[in-house]
Amino acid sequence: MKKLISVFLVLILTLAPMTGFAARDVAKEEILAQNLKALGVFRGVSENEFDLLRAPTRVEALVMLVRLLGKEAQATDEKNPHPFADVPKWADDYVGYAYKNGLTNGVSETEFGTGDANINTYLTFVLRALGYSDIEGDFSYSEPFSLSQQSGILPAIVDRENFLRADCVTISYVALASYMKNSNTTLSKKLISDGVFSEADFLRYYDGDAVEYNATAKKELDAEEIYKKCSPAVFYVEVYDKNS
């Protein structure tokens, strides 16, 4: 009897960490993923499954980025080559497009990398998509966090340590409201201009308050922008002297 109890306790202690790991609530991220899918910039592992409680592979993270940019059709049409021998055939076109456009590098000259993507990887991808360059010194792969917070793509809900596909969804979602580098244009406005989705659909499926601490970068306004914001509140009062 004592032996059976001991075995039972061992099983409980063994399974407890797994239970805790699986307990993360991603209901909010499921909604965000559905909205991104409705806009045509995200897809799951199947028609009805997003698999958000799993860490993304480097290839999956890269494919998410290409879809976020609305470049999936272009990538599959162009079929750009790449130098990496470890990319699965289904992802060749995505990696080729990203490699050609400076959105990704491999872990070596001939290997893209088959491991999981961490938060540094995905933030680097998205910052590059917003026009920032780690080569030109805007940020570094080892420290993309300051610029990511400044740019509004790193809300508090993102788990930096246990980075999952759910976190990719959150970063992708808030990135739509973030500004392109040195621009007054957000990523969503660029995608609307490119015909990826309509403004009506964006207003229908995007809620800027859906993510807590959606720290969209606050830009300093120039004189023209200040005028546009303030001019509706300006009025003219003409006073007459009764003796005139």
- For residue range 81-118, what is the model confidence (pLDDT) as tens digits? 999 999 999 999 999 999 999 999 899 999 999 999 99
The answer to which of 140-154, 188-202, 225-239 has the lowest mean pLDDT is 225-239
Q: What is the DSSP string of 21-40?
A: HHT---HHHHHHHHHHHHTT
- Higher-confidence position of 50 and 14: 50
CA distance 74 to 72: 5
- Which residues are CB-contacts of 149 (< 8 A; sequence separation ≥ 6)? 215
- φ and ψ at residue 223, rounded to 5 degrees: -60, -40
In this prediction, residue 16 has a pLDDT band, given cuts at 50, 70 and 90, of: very low
Distances (CA, A) of 76 to 18, 32, 63: 38, 25, 11
pLDDT band at residue 46 using 50, 70 and 90 as cut-offs: confident
Phi/psi region, residue 202 (left: phi>0; alpha: psi -120 to 50; beta: rest), is alpha
Region 49-54: what's the mean pLDDT?
95
The residue among 229 and 36 whose pLDDT is bigger is: 36
Provide, rounded to the nearest whole percent, the portion of the chain with pLDDT above 70: 77
Q: What is the pLDDT of residue 220?
A: 45
Asked whether the beta carbons of 95 and 35 are under 8 A apart, the reply is no
pLDDT at 244: 52
Mean pLDDT of the chain: 85
Q: Where residue 48 falls among pLDDT bands split at 50, 70, 90? A: confident
Indicate if the pLDDT at residue 241 is higher than 70. no
Please determine, for residue 237, whether its predicted confidence score (pLDDT) is greater than 60: no
* The pLDDT value given to residue 45: 87
| Bigger pLDDT: 5 vs 63 | 63
- Residue 242 pLDDT class (50, 70, 90 cuts): low
pLDDT band at 149, cuts 50/70/90? very high
